[in-house]
A and B are shown apart, each in its own frame.
Chain A
């Protein structure tokens, strides 16, 4: 970063700009989206304020370095620990580069090394596991992110690790949208007249618009229907899958999410709430029977009865369940048949599918395999990521 330091305003004292640089690095290591241009902006705009007034410095840095609410909420903690935490040598760092919750850790040594930028180098390099290396500000490290890919969701006990995975999972859902909406197709039906191009063409015929050019209709995003099994046998996976569903619910416009154990409950609105705490509260209100027994057949029948109209020929239905059913198997068969008739395609996600040594023993699962266009697994990040291509193919 020395090249940046060279083109700084010479009026700013050296140690201040060093400290600022250190802070910017610190922010980046904590998952703030900060690139070189933000760094330059900080250095160039510092002259606008009184850098020795803490309040002004804080609001300037907050304004430039934050880019979403999560950053906004944890900025103060980061700021305080950097500018005030010198004595106690407390450092803020997170395990994941994409920035999970803040964690304060006490640093042991480095007493001899007082310059902030140096002590932060190590931190910046630690910011691994970055799910989207788009910004030039991100530091990438491969080893960590590959190992996390294969961890079975059911075997995670460390809450820190869980939070990291939750974030990755939600981000992945957001990326899925790009995948689906990028697909374009020339429509055979002709659309509205494109006045602009028609007029252009009409110049050749002396202003008489003889050939009408039309706008081609772009293929729309498919309608997505997600039905999640939240019964006890799924409890290891259901919260993560809810996070995944939340990501999908937030970025797709035409999507509906339902959860079921013994009956079906719409949860799209609950998932769309901005704060995760409120999501959790609303989901908790779904109440009794959560993580209880499963009646897939009856629940799906209930779905068809109450919300079936919502499913149309553009709908990709995705049922997430392990197929362990304590209810009526005929009902399952019938309701799957109906779902299949109404919608475009049926994707069945069984979290255990790709797990080692798994064989589909459950009767419900065997029926599901007859009807599903595709069966996929979702027990770790790797398999969850592989869902993307399935979605694209079926949509």
Chain B
């Protein structure tokens, strides 16, 4: 029974524009049932964020995204009081008889992503992006939210979740996450895609690229990843590059070396990498791919 469920789920993901392999497909399927957060790790550009988007599409629900950064605090992640309105409210009550109206009222509360996620009626997909960039204090705070799905606001009390959001966390591994957080989460490592998978992704996203060129593009990028680069190209880069080649009207990689070289900016994002890929290396890669 469950096997059909999973394969149906995978084809739904495919319709949402995401090519998931069997492993990831069943992982996502399980996440939507186990009600545990899923921690996705992998290099930048392997499509971690896309997974959350596709999941939201398949479940027909809202995607709420919290982008983490150094210094992210409760005020910008959970809630903030609307001070201007509160001040106005105090002023407008001055001198009037019924001056006991509370200013710590939900109507003066500004929802930030985490609060919004537990307040919505239909369980949304909550994407906590690049958790490794946030501070340790915030990580600890997040643990509390993720285990109980409730938020305490001193002035209002505890706000319970109306629905349990499906939580997806992503990390690029720029710093170690705490053991406690890791243990709260299910785990999936997203690797660079295999040739077949990447070809499928390219064909799904850019159907106007012809099959022969698509094979060459994917073959080239797969080989390029083996070169010692500072920043290896991800799937997003492959797609950008394919779109660029399409714009230039190239139908074969070896058609015009000049143009090819100029489109490499889509794949290589640092000066060292562009310099490192010398002409003969480029020719070798093209020859292999064609």
| B-binding residues in A (CB < 8 A) | 33, 35, 37-38, 41, 45, 48-50, 53, 55-56, 59-60, 62-64, 66-69, 71-73, 132, 134-135, 174, 178, 181, 195-196, 199, 202-203, 206-207, 209, 250-251, 253, 269, 272, 274, 278, 281
Residue B255 is within 8 A (CB to CB) of chain A in the complex: no
Instruction: Name which residue of chain B comes closest to A278, CB basis.
Output: B228
- Is the Cβ of B27 less than 8 Å from the Cβ of A174? no
A60 to B22, CA, bound (A): 12
Chain B positions within 8 Å of A274 at CB level = 43, 173
Known contacts A174-B176, A274-B173; is A199 also within 8 Å of B189 by CB? Answer: no
Residue B3 is within 8 A (CB to CB) of chain A in the complex: yes
Residue B221 is within 8 A (CB to CB) of chain A in the complex: no
Q: Which among B2, B39, B176 is the interface contact of A250 at CB below 8 angstroms?
A: B176
- Is the Cβ of A195 less than 8 Å from the Cβ of B83? yes
* Whole-angstrom distance between the Cβ of B234 and the nearest chain A Cβ: 14
A181 to B103, CA, bound (A): 36
- Is the Cβ of B2 less than 8 Å from the Cβ of A50? yes
Residue B138 is within 8 A (CB to CB) of chain A in the complex: no
A62 to B174, CA, bound (A): 23
Chain B positions within 8 Å of A49 at CB level = 2, 26, 30
- Is the Cβ of B3 less than 8 Å from the Cβ of A59? no
* Whole-angstrom distance between the Cβ of B29 and the nearest chain A Cβ: 9
Residue B258 is within 8 A (CB to CB) of chain A in the complex: no
- Is the Cβ of B189 less than 8 Å from the Cβ of A69? yes
- Is the Cβ of B27 less than 8 Å from the Cβ of A67? no
- Is the Cβ of A33 less than 8 Å from the Cβ of B182? yes
Given contacts A33-B182, A71-B187, 7 further A-B contacts (CB under 8 A): A37-B183, A59-B30, A60-B26, A66-B187, A68-B187, A250-B176, A278-B228
The 27 listed contacts between A and B (C-beta, < 8 Å) are: A35-B183, A37-B183, A38-B183, A41-B36, A49-B30, A59-B26, A63-B31, A63-B187, A67-B179, A67-B182, A67-B187, A69-B173, A72-B187, A132-B179, A135-B183, A174-B176, A195-B81, A195-B83, A196-B83, A199-B81, A199-B86, A203-B90, A203-B103, A207-B87, A207-B91, A207-B94, A274-B173
A181 to B136, CA, bound (A): 9
A274 to B1, CA, bound (A): 40
* Whole-angstrom distance between the Cβ of A14 and the nearest chain B Cβ: 22
- Is the Cβ of A48 less than 8 Å from the Cβ of B33? yes
Residue B188 is within 8 A (CB to CB) of chain A in the complex: yes
Q: Which among B2, B136, B188, B189 is the interface contact of A56 at CB below 8 angstroms?
A: B2
Q: How many inter-chain contacts with C-beta < 8 Å in the A-B complex? A: 103
A181 to B70, CA, bound (A): 14
Query: Which of chain B's residues 8-52 have a Cβ closer than 8 Å to chain A?
Result: 22-23, 26-27, 30-31, 33-34, 36, 38-39, 41, 43
Residue B264 is within 8 A (CB to CB) of chain A in the complex: no
Known contacts A63-B27, A68-B182, A251-B176; is A56 also within 8 Å of B83 by CB? Answer: no
Chain A positions within 8 Å of B3 at CB level = 50, 53, 56
| A-binding residues in B (CB < 8 A) | 1-3, 6, 22-23, 26-27, 30-31, 33-34, 36, 38-39, 41, 43, 70, 75, 81, 83, 86-87, 90-91, 94, 103, 136, 173-176, 179-180, 182-183, 185-189, 228, 230
Chain A positions within 8 Å of B183 at CB level = 33, 35, 37-38, 67, 135
* Whole-angstrom distance between the Cβ of A208 and the nearest chain B Cβ: 9
A302 to B155, CA, bound (A): 58
Instruction: Name which residue of chain B comes closest to A47, CB basis.
Output: B2
- Is the Cβ of A41 less than 8 Å from the Cβ of B173? no
Known contacts A48-B30, A135-B179; is A69 also within 8 Å of B41 by CB? Answer: yes
- Is the Cβ of B175 less than 8 Å from the Cβ of A250? yes
Instruction: Name which residue of chain B comes closest to A206, CB basis.
Output: B94
**Which residue among B173, B180, B185, B186 has the maximum number of chain A CB atoms within 10 Å of its CB?**
B186
Chain A positions within 8 Å of B70 at CB level = 253
Known contacts A41-B36, A48-B34, A174-B176; is A199 also within 8 Å of B87 by CB? Answer: yes
Chain B positions within 8 Å of A135 at CB level = 179, 183
- Is the Cβ of B136 less than 8 Å from the Cβ of A178? yes
Chain B positions within 8 Å of A272 at CB level = 174
- Is the Cβ of B90 less than 8 Å from the Cβ of A45? no
* Whole-angstrom distance between the Cβ of A46 and the nearest chain B Cβ: 11
Instruction: Name which residue of chain A comes closest to B36, CB basis.
Output: A41
Chain B positions within 8 Å of A269 at CB level = 230
A269 to B31, CA, bound (A): 35
* Whole-angstrom distance between the Cβ of B204 and the nearest chain A Cβ: 23
- Is the Cβ of B22 less than 8 Å from the Cβ of A33? no
Q: Which among A45, A50, A250, A253 is the interface contact of B34 at CB below 8 angstroms?
A: A45
**Which residue among B38, B39, B75, B179 has the maximum number of chain A CB atoms within 10 Å of its CB?**
B179
Chain A positions within 8 Å of B90 at CB level = 202-203, 206-207
A64 to B187, CA, bound (A): 7
**Which residue among A48, A63, A278 has the maximum number of chain B CB atoms within 10 Å of its CB?**
A63
Chain B positions within 8 Å of A281 at CB level = 228
Instruction: Name which residue of chain A comes closest to B137, CB basis.
Output: A181
Chain B positions within 8 Å of A62 at CB level = 23, 187
| Nearest 3 Cβ contacts at the A-B interface | A207-B90, A67-B182, A72-B189
Known contacts A195-B83, A251-B175; is A59 also within 8 Å of B136 by CB? Answer: no
Chain B positions within 8 Å of A41 at CB level = 34, 36
* Whole-angstrom distance between the Cβ of B109 and the nearest chain A Cβ: 12
